[in-house]
Structure 1
Amino acid sequence: MTESHAIEVRGLTKKFGDFVAVDNVSFDVNEKEIFGFLGPNGAGKSTTIRMLCTLARPTAGEAKVAGYDLLKEPDKVRASIGLVSEKMIMYERLTAAENLRFFGNLYGMPKRRLEERIDELLKLVDMYRWKDAQIGTFSTGMKQRINVIRALLTEPKIIFMDEPTLGLDPQTTLSIRQIIRDINKNGTTVILTTHAMLEAETLSERVAIIDHGRIVALDTPANLKKLVKDAEMTVFSVRIPNLTPSLVEKVRKLDCVAALDQADAYDLKISAKGSEGLDQIIDTIRREGGNITMINTSEPTLEDVFLSVTGKAMRDQANEKPSMRRRHGPWAPRARAR
């Protein structure tokens, strides 16, 4: 492993029968960075994390985690990582301290250090006052705080966080995001999977966009957004009160349309290629009888990047029909890893 890399992945693949969940992905994660995996449910994020945590065996490829070979040294990999899974792993009839003590004992932590660590972590997430309260009495947000620090008990070099804010209220979401920043400031490498654009953009130093098991773009959020500008894309929203399915399809089929998403019954969000793309789209809408009441252009966001590289909005891919699945978007920049 390169000295500055916490994780190195080359050609990692996972198949379930004929279905390819993760398709030949390669990337590096730098030490002490927050690395984001952005993609919808079913895109392959969690499967990739499960392989890197030794919970699923790759079909092909190789990886090193904390300098250890994923297949040859799985015990050393597990000793170097923590995992905050999407599913909370706790016992509701035990107190917060008892839960943490149970998991600490599974790792064989010395008793004195374990008790010190429990107090440190409960204070970190502002949960010390509920140290001796049963988990079953906690709100979802309180449970997730305990779920996060459970993975930190052994002071891992690398922590994987799989959708840590999924289903949480806005206040708790902000709290968990700050905890992630604090963990990282203490020197821990964080790998964060999310389908929340804002979360990926504000937390991650670099983001990998994954679509149907493949990494279609990888760079800093700023550089990813610059890709949209460099490709001479115009991102805009248009409101059409008399919007019809046939009009949507007319616009979608235009050569200048890189991506189109219908936000609701009246609004389209469109990425247009070329200097004249916007004018061509507006002319087409009017020619087909569309009544435009509003047009807003905007600076690119990660959502626009996702639209541009995949050609569709963020949505569950597991529910898509096979015929709808695309291996690439209309313009997919080469994934760039450092």
Structure 2
Amino acid sequence: MSTITFTVDGQDGKGGRLTFKPRAMSTANGEIITPTLSARETIFRSNEPATVDLPDGAWRVTGLDGSRFVDINVDGDADLKDLIMFSIPPGTPADTLTDAVASWLTAHAADVLDDAGAARDTATAAATAASASESAAGASATAAAGSASGASGSASTASTKAEEASASAAAAASSATAAGSAKTAAESARDAAVAAKAAAESARDETVIAVAASSDWSGAVSPSSADVSQSRWWKRRLTGNATVTLPNGVAGKAYSIIIEVTQDATGGRSLVFKQSGGSQVSWAYGVTPVMSTSPNARDLWTLTWTGSEWIGGIGAQALAIGTGTGV
């Protein structure tokens, strides 16, 4: 059991509730989870920390923004914001991410570059002052040599000017160093912004489910490892009885494959899903759901990779366009 901590921003004194529902039918240890019995509802107050205890696994969070939801994977104590990648809801447009990165560059990188330019100008002015001071020191020394009565005073003045020139030169060198450091910091900020943009685009791509081309299944079917490497939507028509042997998914990651299965015009086709070792995938209560077998019948199946095994579930059966008004 893991403890998930979260704080919802909002008006003080207000609040609401978040609902956590499991997206898998059982935990990685085989413990049965059902959406009805295992849902967690947690009441929160705005700007105050709240916690919820969840078994490790795949969960869906609702209540963050109206009817929208966010999918998370729990594997130890964590902050909810860390589990939601960049806190970006699924489907956030790429333009929104690009605008955010551009805004950051405008607000920060430009300021750093301006500071670098100002430091450079200061260094140039200091160097000019140093040159002028050195010239003045030379003139004072010449005047001291030509005037015996004022030699002592002139020599003292020349010495003072020389010290001032040395201090100005040191200040110029320090300013030049600061300008170089500011330029390096600006370049680092720019590179970090570019990397952040690339990471944001990668995170956006991982939240989008790829739709594979429609194809027929019959007999022994063996999808490739690439086919099961991320969340996907498959469209398959059964033209005969089919047995699908799934290779292992990506270790340490959890995701789901949604399969839209359609009977051909004959109907009566059967479908079996197996793990790579030959055993069937895990189902709720160990019972494989009965699929629709009428001609052209359409069912929706879900296969979830937990990081170590495949778990099966059926989302809808005998899909058809509704004719009623609903409840």
Q: Name the TM-score, length of structure 2 as normaliser.
A: 0.25
Q: Name the TM-score, length of structure 1 as normaliser.
A: 0.24
